[in-house]
Structure 1
């Protein structure tokens, strides 16, 4: 009797020891750590076999060894994977190939001959193959046909634990990938040329982070204390303007807190709200705000027939994206205000200079308007257009250092006077050279009288000075030709164009001339 009790105790102790050893699978921090623990356990319990685990890499759409990445991989859409995902338990590898994929000789050679595999075990969760275990014969050892029943029982128990933890790890990996992708979101926002473009594309950009069936972005109008719909998707007609507390987004506006509801129809409160009826099924509504002000509200939904409702994890993603949006919009608006302040100062300085001579009054602003129009016809970036805008309004700023008697002289200049007035490009360069704000336009100011053939102020040839200077040059010459001067009347537009065409290849190239003509035509039609 005592020996029988001792034997039972030994069995119980062995079973407990076995269970405790499998508990180590629950103590993981990374997917690779989990896989390594499983391989180590099988090495201890199955000393006559080497275990390999091929895990699903969803981002690469393949199965591969985490601990030996790059060695080999199997596409997720292969017949081998499809058949293996339908197996309920482990099977001898040769039997599996014979019964299901007899024609895949290349994969069979890889697994049976290269790896020495003889037994394969799928790890399936809800008809999805998370991974598979390949038991291989050690190098130089005889390959068995299968494994012993006790070994198969152990592997089955290990797979049961591994299935749960691999599924949890796959969810964690998916969330980490989403966060990693979300880290690129600010770069996407910065690529937008203006606040207007940023807000008009806001739902397109968010769709890539949190897929939705319908959505709307409202801009907050502080003076009128209301939400104005700016852009929407999946909605047949324009959403109404919302007052505080109206609809779902109006609640978000008032409370400045995100709302996440898994099913509007079942919600005791939001199911009774009539406003924003297009937000059906699961929905999210998130404020876009800084610590000082509300910028807007974005509300998204997935309809009831969508098998993947919006959940808490989507709320977190949207809140992070909203934080990025608030920062970018706020920074852009502050920058625009600062830019406008700078430009107002620069324009005032230019007008003060031109007030000396009524013949040139408004010249720099007209040159700026033409130069910006040419830049847009050429399809230049917003940053390039900005540089041209500033350089054009300041192109003659150096004349502030030239004697009034020369600037306003009604007759032709002497050689000495002409040499003096040519100094205005150097003076202009020196004026802006000390300001970092203008460091990217100083060369445009200096070389706007340069010529492609080297006969300009500094004898530079094309390629030796910024090509954008040609844009300012053609605008400058045209405005000078079409303006009255003490010594001649203004040219007509057609006469000025004929004169400019003769300067192609000297002051500017054909492409800039054609863009200039298009700009003039567009301004006439406007």
Structure 2
């Protein structure tokens, strides 16, 4: 390949840059000399030889040509170094001419040589520096000796001491001293250069070590920062999880939150939470990733089967990197999607695995495992709390039922009334899309709807002759008495309006506040229909039980006035389905 087409390497660029810089300094020095000579000639009237201007012109031309060649042509480093050395020689020759035409025998003339020798001793190799020092001394001593022997004429710049160039003793001593000075300058410059380069190398090494140390420190700080950020993120996630756990006793909501965060933190494709059915001794999917997935409710595991069995036995997490090729565990055949990696985290309560967090297609990370184990602990706490809460709630409901039975024992005609009202009401509730919590409130309200009758005199409740206006007014107070009785009970706050308003009429002619239509709580309107129907089908002190047909006719007659017509319509439909055997039993 042609040299002109080769790309310049770093060394070549540095050499050319240094050469161009040196040539630029040469331009500046020439300008300074030229200005000094012009000032001397025209302001101080000192005679200047015209030959000096020819020297300046020749030097300017030389510098221009060298700089032009360096910029326009590609050269090998070796050639550039030779040109650089030739520049020193050219500079010495130029200085020699200046030295001759300014009365060189005077000691001041050696300054021009000293500058070049010092510069070369610093920037050139020792061999080149020594040659330049010898050549400089040769040029200096040649001018002095040639003038001394009248081979060339003395052209003195200073006219004060023209005889010195003929004084042999002065010439010999000055020449020897100047030569000694040249070589002292060379050795001093070279020694200084070596120390400078040594110091530069030490500084470069120190800089390199400092950079390496700084890089390692930066890496450590970065690693620590990432660890702190990861810890912060993990603490933030844990805070959100445990805040969710502490803010609700709804197990499904808590487990859904734990599953969502588990998938997000682990980067899993999908996942699920399985719980143990203690009666059947199988694990079933409680919280799936996709509830609409086909056959999701059919996926179960015996507690000693497959991957679940391993986790139950060892009470440790299980990670399978390639489920399809794993020889110990088989893939669930009912799942049609591809599962490569599988991570199972146990949920442990009282040293027993009661559930697992399944994560599909996720990588294994110690930090992630620690965080997921914290999630499983949170799930364990939630499940345990939910079970305890259910036990407490069931116990509480039994107490409420016992209280209702105690009230009914006061009035033998109403025995079992509250429980039947509860069954009717809970049969109606799904048709209105009531939530689980609303159904639970309706269940409690149905059992306790007549709790206020505990404050009504038994003689009025058992009166077979009908009630006076005063007695009927006392009977109507039982809704307010009932609300006051349950007011201090925090768990029963949601049923207070249902107990208070279950005797309101749809047309506004009921009691205690004369509410009408949609202003009456839906639960209270449901209780009104259920309560009235069961009352009509039950014996009372003042009458015998009505037939089912008569009770239905009474409901129809009261529809739109006493009762919500929509609820009456739904209830009658339920009764019809129950009598034909098409619907669930409510008896």
TM-score, length-scaled by structure 2: 0.53
Q: Aligned pair 1:251/2:310, yes or no?
A: yes
Name 1:273's counterpart in structure 2. 328
Tell me which of 366, 371, 391 is aligned to 2:420.
366
Note the 1:236-385 alignment, pairs <5 A: 241-242=301-302, 244=304, 246-263=305-322, 273-274=328-329, 281-291=340-350, 293-302=352-361, 309-385=363-439
Structure with max Cα Rg: 2
Q: Aligned pair 1:228/2:287, yes or no?
A: no
CA shift for structure 1 position 185: 4.7
Note the 1:445-484 alignment, pairs <5 A: 445-462=499-516, 466-484=521-539
Q: Distance in 2 between matches of 1:333 and 1:441?
A: 23
Unpaired segments ≥5 residues, structure 2: 1-193
Contact 1:260–1:311 under 8 Å retained in 2: no
Name 2:196's counterpart in structure 1. 3
Q: Distance in 2 between matches of 1:202 and 1:425?
A: 43
CA shift for structure 1 position 347: 1.0
1:268-313 deviation per Cα after TM superposition (whole angstroms, max 9, x unaligned)? xxx55356677974332222123464322344443xxxxx534434
Contact 1:242–1:250 under 8 Å retained in 2: yes
Q: Distance in 2 between matches of 1:205 and 1:15?
A: 46
Tell me which of 464, 489, 496 is aligned to 1:435.
489
Contact 1:218–1:227 under 8 Å retained in 2: no
Q: Distance in 1 between matches of 2:279 and 2:295?
A: 29
Tell me which of 404, 408, 421 is aligned to 2:462.
408
CA shift for structure 1 position 263: 4.8
CA shift for structure 1 position 418: 1.7
Bigger shift: residues 325-334 or 494-503: 494-503
- For the residue of structure 2 that corresponds to 1:444, the secondary structure is helix
Q: Distance in 2 between matches of 1:515 and 1:200?
A: 34
Note the 1:412-423 alignment, pairs <5 A: 412-423=466-477
Unpaired segments ≥5 residues, structure 1: 30-164, 303-307
Q: Distance in 2 between matches of 1:411 and 1:215?
A: 68
Contact 2:504–2:511 under 8 Å retained in 1: yes
CA shift for structure 1 position 332: 1.2
Q: Distance in 2 between matches of 1:343 and 1:470?
A: 22
Q: Distance in 1 between matches of 2:514 and 2:295?
A: 60
Cα gap change, 1:202 to 1:182, in 2 (>3 Å): closer
Cα gap change, 1:193 to 1:517, in 2 (>3 Å): farther
Name 1:386's counterpart in structure 2. 440
Contact 2:345–2:358 under 8 Å retained in 1: yes
Note the 1:90-239 alignment, pairs <5 A: 180=236, 183-185=239-241, 207=263, 210=266, 212=268, 218-220=274-276, 226-230=281-285
1:133-172 deviation per Cα after TM superposition (whole angstroms, max 9, x unaligned)? xxxxxxxxxxxxxxxxxxxxxxxxxxxxxxxx7xx97898
Contact 2:528–2:563 under 8 Å retained in 1: yes
- For the residue of structure 2 that corresponds to 1:273, the secondary structure is coil
Cα gap change, 1:352 to 1:299, in 2 (>3 Å): same
- For the residue of structure 2 that corresponds to 1:455, the secondary structure is coil
| Higher strand content, 1 or 2 | 1
- For the residue of structure 1 that corresponds to 2:421, the secondary structure is helix
Cα gap change, 1:502 to 1:183, in 2 (>3 Å): farther
Cα gap change, 1:259 to 1:196, in 2 (>3 Å): same
What's the Cα RMSD here? 4.2
Q: Distance in 1 between matches of 2:256 and 2:576?
A: 29
Q: Distance in 1 between matches of 2:300 and 2:487?
A: 52
Q: Distance in 2 between matches of 1:297 and 1:333?
A: 17
Tell me which of 218, 222, 228 is aligned to 1:25.
218
Tell me which of 534, 554, 579 is aligned to 1:499.
554
Cα gap change, 1:309 to 1:491, in 2 (>3 Å): same
Contact 2:254–2:382 under 8 Å retained in 1: no
Cα gap change, 1:376 to 1:243, in 2 (>3 Å): closer
Q: Distance in 2 between matches of 1:514 and 1:211?
A: 52
CA shift for structure 1 position 173: 5.7
| Higher helix content, 1 or 2 | 2
Cα gap change, 1:208 to 1:507, in 2 (>3 Å): farther
Cα gap change, 1:176 to 1:388, in 2 (>3 Å): same
Contact 2:249–2:386 under 8 Å retained in 1: no
CA shift for structure 1 position 452: 4.7
Name 2:205's counterpart in structure 1. 12
Q: Tell me the matched-pair count.
A: 378
Bigger shift: residues 8-17 or 468-477: 8-17
Q: Distance in 1 between matches of 2:249 and 2:576?
A: 25
Q: Distance in 2 between matches of 1:188 and 1:349?
A: 35
Bigger shift: residues 275-284 or 323-332: 275-284
Cα gap change, 1:468 to 1:187, in 2 (>3 Å): farther
